[in-house]
Structure 1
């Protein structure tokens, strides 16, 4: 009699492979019906709404495929299975706008959402986002949300948020940013605008639960403007590197969706400082070569 693994162990192995390399799922589900039942939902866990293929390991969903999924798959499947969604600026056109709206309205269990600033969200889409009460990770230009539907940091959309990447390059009053510590479960905060350095220094001073503050910058000169932030061991200045085809923000979001991103690098860096493994005065990571700078 041919040997066979216990079913729970077999399922664990298939799920592990599917999560580590979702692009392989369409092939894996051909093994057996039971395997299809186990791992097909994981195929929809990460959706990149972009006309350009995602990073290696993630499946590419063409628009017609996504339409079929939204129309034919049971609603509870999308509510519970889609956890990571990024909407980029390279999905222009009326049909893509409709597709984006359908995704935002159907995938109510999203825990990780990123939206590029150039994407012209409609009011009903913003209201749909405001109902995402399961969000843990959010990367967005907050001025769009705040100005259209008048949110503040005490709104339920932020209730379970632990990781926030602020992509605004100005556009909101300083008094709004000072209330960012009102997000009750926020432990990780990232920003890209050097003008926010002094304001987010207040967040470090006022929020002991904040474990990591990441400044995502392009130039060493930007880092030098970080001011007194460099004195806090929780501060990390992360110099973003180039990447052929994908902007840094999209690449890093996609890596985060499969468990490897700048958040993980920053956490390791802060932990090493606290453990005395590196000088506490060091605050810079250079993504180009992985070096920890001064």
Structure 2
């Protein structure tokens, strides 16, 4: 068994940087040695587009069965349930209990209820939340709790970025949402559909939330010129084009999860530019102020074939480094 030629800390750092910058090389890096496998395999699932019977998902489920309990905790940082109707509530909540390193979580309306809210509350690092708040707050018996939930559910205590996909077609949803938002102590970024927030709600929310840095209202079409003018002259109010179509919306979510530019980044830059320039609010009340990002639409993960399923087996890994290259070819 050969020994590492570099200090373990430096060797670890090198492989981690390589895996983070070039994620496509991770399967190859995993075959260098047992210790490199332990360093790089968790990074394979750092951003997980969870859909049953696809290669990333089945590989991850196999990996958490084969590794120690801490594997799931140190692997996933961002996860969204791409087809929550295909994921049982039991499996989904179990994953949230195991993957305690999650920073970003996204889902759509089928994954809801008290068990989900409780599981989200056990994620100490959760900061970014994208979901339908109205359905999350619909209890399993069909009732809707009052927004004065006391104490505030742990799931919301550390949220900084909240992206709501609610349509607000129900009065109870609207009431509970606007009653709950002021209670989120660390909220700095809020995104909603333009049609889900009235002008009066905008004028009420912004003055009451001085720590809010961005209020992003999105739509499929350019809202300018606004028939009644801007609902607020507050520079934190940003109108943005973000497709409500599934593939486009979640494509932007994935872009931000991977560390690339997304609507959050562009919105924050827009607000800072307004503040720093000390421009009059009239300068952002036209179509020229409309922000838009072109991100790659999400694509479906490749399904697992029987042949590939047999290959997803790392049990024959050994602790030997690959042979060194001949002199002069390093």
Q: TM-score, normalised by structure 1?
A: 0.79
Contact 2:45 2:56 in 1 (8 A): no
Higher-Rg member (1/2)? 2
Instruction: Summarize the Cα distance change of 1:224–1:25 in structure 2 as closer, same or farther, 3 Å threshold.
Output: farther
The match for 1:168 is 166
The match for 2:237 is 235
Query: Following TM superposition, by how much is the alpha carbon of 1:166 offset from its aligned partner in structure 2, in angstroms?
Result: 1.1
1:274-293 to 2 correspondences below 5 Å: 274-276=275-277, 281-282=283-284, 283-288=289-294
**Matches of 1:148 and 1:34, distance apart in 2:** 45
| RMSD after superposition | 3.2
Task: Determine if the alignment matches structure 1 residue 144 to structure 2 residue 145.
Answer: no
Query: Following TM superposition, by how much is the alpha carbon of 1:136 offset from its aligned partner in structure 2, in angstroms?
Result: 0.3
Instruction: Summarize the Cα distance change of 1:11–1:79 in structure 2 as closer, same or farther, 3 Å threshold.
Output: closer
Detail structure 1 runs of 4+ shifted over 6 Å in the superposition: none
Q: Tell me whether 123-132 or 141-150 shows the greater mean CA deviation.
A: 123-132
The match for 2:154 is 156
1:135 maps to which of 126, 134, 149: 126
Query: Following TM superposition, by how much is the alpha carbon of 1:232 offset from its aligned partner in structure 2, in angstroms?
Result: 1.4
1:61-140 to 2 correspondences below 5 Å: 61-62=56-57, 64-89=58-83, 92-93=85-86, 99-117=91-109, 119-121=110-112, 124-140=115-131
Task: Determine if the alignment matches structure 1 residue 35 to structure 2 residue 36.
Answer: yes
1:94-114 residue CA offsets vs partner (Å, 9 max, x unmatched): x76664343233223322100
**Matches of 1:285 and 1:52, distance apart in 2:** 37
Contact 2:216 2:240 in 1 (8 A): yes
Contact 2:166 2:196 in 1 (8 A): no
Query: Following TM superposition, by how much is the alpha carbon of 1:29 offset from its aligned partner in structure 2, in angstroms?
Result: 2.2
1:187-220 residue CA offsets vs partner (Å, 9 max, x unmatched): 1111114231432432211111111111121111
Query: Following TM superposition, by how much is the alpha carbon of 1:75 offset from its aligned partner in structure 2, in angstroms?
Result: 1.6
1:172-192 residue CA offsets vs partner (Å, 9 max, x unmatched): 133641441211111111111
Contact 1:161 1:185 in 2 (8 A): yes
1:33-71 residue CA offsets vs partner (Å, 9 max, x unmatched): 443333222222221113698xxxxxx514x32331232
Instruction: Summarize the Cα distance change of 1:229–1:288 in structure 2 as closer, same or farther, 3 Å threshold.
Output: farther
Structure 1 unmatched runs, 5+:
54-59, 290-294
**Matches of 1:226 and 1:107, distance apart in 2:** 47
1:108-148 residue CA offsets vs partner (Å, 9 max, x unmatched): 3322100112x344653443224334310000101122121
**Matches of 2:38 and 2:93, distance apart in 1:** 28
Q: TM-score, normalised by structure 2?
A: 0.71
Structure 2 unmatched runs, 5+:
296-330
Contact 2:193 2:219 in 1 (8 A): yes
